[in-house]
Amino acid sequence: MVTRTVPESAVAVLREVAEVRVCDQDRPLTPDELRAAVEGADGVVAMLHDRIDAEFVEAAGSQLKVVANVAVGYDNVDVPALTGRGVTVTNTPGVLTDATADLAFGLLLSVTRRLGEAERLLRSRTPWNFHLGFMLGTGLQGKTLGIVGLGGIGQAVARRARAFGMHIAYTGRRRAAQEIEAELDARYLPQDELLRTADVISLHCPLTESTRHLIDDAALEAMKSTAIVVNTSRGPIVDEKALAAALKEGRIGGAALDVFENEPEVDPGLLELDNVAIAPHLGSATTETRTAMAELAARNVAAVLSGQQPLTPVTA
């Protein structure tokens, strides 16, 4: 069962090992619809908006062997509930690293150079003329990028930042390997120090109970008044209302957001502000990347249903 339309090349991989059903409702399924759709399935290709839990497994039936989540993050999956019932869980790491890093840096440039604001000005046909003080933004050269979570995507963002002449600092549950620190000339800092000193805070950590609202009012209060928050990971890592208030009151400089706390809804306070660059969850949205994600998920399902080990398993 495939819970949302995917590229035909991924469906073709699945058809080599099983009969395939693709959801004919091209929208997120309700919990009841999802449970009805997966009944009798041996394998499921699921999307990040699907809630995969014990009730899902019970609805599918005891023959369910594998759930392939088409995303790197798997906060929508109760992994212990599935693995405890003998169901393999997989995700799609690696293939979306560069696309997401590109988008993160594009959003950062959009907010620091006021590109969205400038485009809106032109599209509104507001009269304008060039002068040296017109729509000044801020440069990135010599500024410090503070990365929360120096995994694959965090490292890719750091490489792009170094090309722009930025300094790299990071924090996370553990230090990166020495060779990664050396390559990126990256300094490990405690989280509170990183929040206080970085010019840009870029979030690349998974959504867990410990990272939910990691960026809350207290974290925002600790930042520089000129700091920029970038979030291309998961929306609930940021307290959206607290962020909107901090931006409106000038307590931080700006935000660049690809994910939101209650997708597809966006806090109205953010939509009213010019110092926010926003996108509708486009981090992996290139034809090449989304196709690779779907194909990887399909290969994971095909492997498990063929009695082989999955390529990218998730462990509890």
Q: Which two tokens stand for residue 190?
A: 């405690």
Is 263 among the catalytic positions?
Answer: yes
Give the H/E segment covering residue 246: helix 240-248
Cα gap 64→58, rounded to integer Å: 9
Q: State CA 310 to chain mean position distance.
A: 23
> Of 167, 281, 290, 299, which residue is the catalytic one?
281
CA angle 38, 39, 45 (to 5 degrees): 20
Is 162 among the catalytic positions?
Answer: no
Instruction: State whether the Cα torsion 112-113-116-120 is positive or negative.
Output: positive
Residues 6+ positions from 165 with CB-CB distance below 8 Å: 140, 141, 142
Cα gap 43→307, rounded to integer Å: 12
CB-CB neighbours of 123 under 10 Å: 8
Work out the widest C-alpha separation in the chain, in whole angstroms. 69
> Of 33, 181, 193, 263, which residue is the catalytic one?
263
Is 167 among the catalytic positions?
Answer: no
List residues bridging with 168 in a β-sheet.
Answer: 145, 186
Question: Please, are residues 213 and 239 in contact by the beta-carbon 8 Å criterion?
Answer: yes
> Of 167, 204, 234, 290, which residue is the catalytic one?
234
Catalytic annotation, residues? 234, 263, 281
